[in-house]
Amino acid sequence: MSRHTPNLQLDEQGHLLHFLTIDGLRRELLTEILDTAEGFTGVSERTIKKVPLCRGKTVANLFFETSTRTRTTFELAEKRLSADVLNLNISASATSKGETLLDTLRNLEAMHMDMFVVRHADSGAAHFIAQHATPGVGVINAGDGRHAHPTQAMLDMFTIRRHKGEFVGLRVAIVGDILHSRVARSQILALNTLGVSEVRVIAPRTLLPHDARKLGVHVYHDLQEGIRDVDVIIMLRLQRERMQGALLPSEHEYFQLYGLTDERLEAADSEAIVMHPGPINRGVEMDSLVADGPRSVILQQVSYGIAIRMAVISMIIGRQNLQAQA
């Protein structure tokens, strides 16, 4: 897949046309997404969990790669905005019989879709679809290869803001498989754009990109030193399916060195929160006592994911509506 220009996401006024990557987006726009999500947090608590903002719009979820949590929260977000939703089982579709990605796009556009939510194993897939989609059709990247997962990063930012207030002055540690993680790349971009004091990455050398420091982070190889006095700890899932070669001796040894336990957590700030994009490998990335403990905000992340995805979808659809009226 060819790479992209971040400006593909924005119109001339800087509003969202697509949401493909955090790269190139201003702090003001990220803050607008967070503020918009705040307005949607109460929808899930209503008797009728719907608002009419996307009534009459059709959204297709194109998941070429499985992800129960991401797909479920996108689908709930779309339905709570009153959109019509099409879920494609790509593994059983014509793409497995040789149909190209562009053919799939054209066939779906013939059904008059207004938005595509795309998850794909190849980096750049969502950008490719956005470049070739009919003008006025929005594309959201739900994770592509090792490249980006922007809505996951934004729900993480929303979680941090909900629990910590301001970003300025915060020290955030991201622990685990940085090398293979599209989530980590998007988180680092978002955290630095929103103005945190420091972003740390903690991992064995084999799970770090060789140019990690160029991402705007401080690199640590010792867990307790890396999380010392931090305000937020984000644990990453060990990316078994994306790992090639013997990058780790064993999962057991990984836990001994990098698994988060209550004892190790004492090195962080006394009010530090623990996050994880899920699903958790218990006994690998963290102990169950931490995952289910008072510092964990992992379940809140899942709930906030619906509000963030509602925010992004509504902002893109709202822009479509304005352009249609112009």
Tell me the domain boundaries of the chain. Answer: 6-148+303-325, 150-297
| pLDDT digits 0-9 by tens, 160-210 | 999 999 999 999 999 999 998 999 999 999 999 999 999 999 999 989 998
Q: Which option is the CATH number for 6-148+303-325: 3.40.50.1370, 3.40.630.30, 1.10.10.10, 1.10.730.10?
A: 3.40.50.1370
Given a cut of 70, whether residue 141 has pLDDT beyond it is yes
pLDDT confidence of residue 240: 65
Q: What mean pLDDT comes out for the span 253-280?
A: 95
Q: Is 152 within any annotated ligand binding site?
A: yes
Q: Is 185 within any annotated ligand binding site?
A: no
Helix residue ranges per DSSP H, 83-149: 101-109, 125-132
Q: Is 278 within any annotated ligand binding site?
A: yes
Q: What's the CATH number for 150-297?
A: 3.40.50.1370
Please give the angle made by the CA atoms of 114, 306 and 297, to the nearest 5 degrees. Answer: 155
pLDDT confidence of residue 317: 95
Percent with pLDDT over 70 in the chain: 90
Per the CB < 8 A criterion, the answer to whether 153 and 183 are in contact is yes
Entry pTM: 0.93
Q: What mean pLDDT comes out for the span 271-279?
A: 95
Helix (H) or strand (E) holding 273: strand 273-275
Q: Is 323 within any annotated ligand binding site?
A: no
Q: Is 171 within any annotated ligand binding site?
A: no
Q: Which of 2, 219, 213, 17 is nearest to 115 (CA)?
A: 17
* Cis omega (within 30 of 0) for bond into 150: no
Q: Is 119 within any annotated ligand binding site?
A: yes
Tokens at residue 79, please? Answer: 């339905």
Given a cut of 60, whether residue 17 has pLDDT beyond it is yes
Helix 68-80 × helix 150-164 angle, to 10°: 80
